[in-house]
Amino acid sequence: MKAPSESVLSHLRPVASERIHETSNPGSPKFCIVGSGAIGGTIAGLLLRSGASVSVVARGDTLAAVKQSGLRLLVENQALQAPVRVSEDPAELGPQDYVIIAVKAPSLPRLARRIGPLLGPDTAVVTAMNGVPWWFFLNAGGKLAGHRLRAVDPMGFIADAIPIRRVIGCVLFVAASVDEPGVIRHENGRLLIIGEPDDRLTPRVKCLAEWLRRAGFDSRISQSIRSDIWFKLLGNISMNPISLLTSAPADRIMADPLVRRLCITVMEEAAQIAARLDLPMQYSIDQMIEKLQRLGSFRMSMLQDMERGKPVEIDALLTVTHDIGLLVGVPTPFIDSVLGLSRLRAEGLGLFERAA
């Protein structure tokens, strides 16, 4: 197996390169990043650069690459290389203070049942993922209080493995990609919004925010994390499936007036569901469009997954929104159309399997 970063990093030799030595920082909480793809790798790499105590759960080619050459992060015209404790078996890493889950939603039901060894009495589990999480209504108010989202947790395995008391919600506005296993490229964006599901300002969420800021993230604590999750959904539910259907990067999707209008209509339907759920949107659809335009030629995560032959996040983005729309009586004809087309496309590629 070739050195996993040589082909990617060779053209960066004229720019700054930094090797980060693995250290044990007694002042740092213990962070474990579950998943070392684009998002997990970016979080792990920047936390390591800040001096935090970090371990990683990975598997397959990524596990082998990180064991051999460390985690490599291309960021700010630098090539960072960091040795990191990595294992496929969470039991080898032991209890943590923060477990940051940065895997794609289709992987979570299987993985949730394996992370028990990472969970001590007070371990917080941070859901750094796209889409509507399984816990969205579990301790919420309103008529859907306690409702289980079967689209994302059909058998209840995730809720059983990760009790709501452990959860810290997380919304990311970070564009990153995997150049090859163990080699992550940060494109743009550093905003991480975190918050307790019950919107309290707790010591654990304040500590997490501080360490993320030390790592270089624009870390903000939300007192309405469900609203922030839903706002991020507006962009994902429109741009991601369209990238799957067309293989177009973000700038081409935004540049076509008809496709851009479709994106806006899908967002409008999702915003109507948010209004029915009494979720205040801090920002407008126009502001979401501005955020998406700043992505430039970035390949959305569904497109990246399709190109790498990985399952795509249809249920966590589209199916769950369709289901919630039915529950609250909001028609979603455009979301439904995009959902149907995306399922057929992904099924044809072998990247999606409908729940029984």
pLDDT digits (tens, 9 = 90+) for 258-267: 999 999 999 9
Give the whole-angstrom CA distance, residue 40 versus residue 184. 9
The residue assigned the tokens 């790499």 is 45
What pLDDT score does 14 carry? 33
The pair of structure tokens assigned to 41 is: 């790798």
pTM: 0.92
What pLDDT score does 64 carry? 96
From-to residues of CATH 1.10.1040.10 in the chain = 228-348
Give the whole-angstrom CA distance, residue 162 versus residue 119. 9
Q: Does domain 228-348 match CATH 1.10.390.10?
A: no
The pair of structure tokens assigned to 240 is: 């991601």
Task: Collapse the DSSP code of 161 into the 3-class scheme (helix H, G, I; strand E, B; otherwise coil) and give the result.
Answer: helix
Q: Does domain 6-223 match CATH 2.102.10.10?
A: no
Distances (CA, A) of 30 to 17, 23, 44: 26, 12, 12
Q: How many residues are recorded in the chain?
A: 356
Give the whole-angstrom CA distance, residue 305 versus residue 312. 6
pLDDT digits (tens, 9 = 90+) for 306-352: 999 999 999 999 999 999 999 999 999 999 999 999 999 999 999 99
Percentage of the chain beyond pLDDT 70 is: 93
pLDDT surpasses 60 at 214 = yes
From-to residues of CATH 3.40.50.720 in the chain = 6-223
Give the whole-angstrom CA distance, residue 193 versus residue 299. 22
Distances (CA, A) of 85 to 58, 63, 215: 10, 10, 18
Distances (CA, A) of 214 to 29, 156, 160: 13, 36, 33
Rounded to an integer, the average pLDDT of 129-135 is 97
- Contact present, 125 and 131 (Cβ < 8 Å): no
pLDDT surpasses 60 at 130 = yes
Q: Which of 104, 143, 232, 310 is catalytic?
A: 232
Q: 104 CB contacts (<8 Å, ≥6 apart)?
A: 35, 37, 129, 130, 301, 305, 310, 311, 312, 313
Give the whole-angstrom CA distance, residue 298 versus residue 41. 17
**End-to-end Cα spacing for the chain:** 39
Task: Collapse the DSSP code of 190 into the 3-class scheme (helix H, G, I; strand E, B; otherwise coil) and give the result.
Answer: strand
Q: Could you tell me the pLDDT band of residue 141, with boundaries at 50, 70 and 90?
A: confident
Distances (CA, A) of 138 to 6, 104, 135, 284, 323: 46, 21, 5, 27, 16
- Of 50, 303, 295, nearest in space to 187 by CA: 295
- Contact present, 253 and 245 (Cβ < 8 Å): no
**Residue 232 bears catalytic tag:** yes
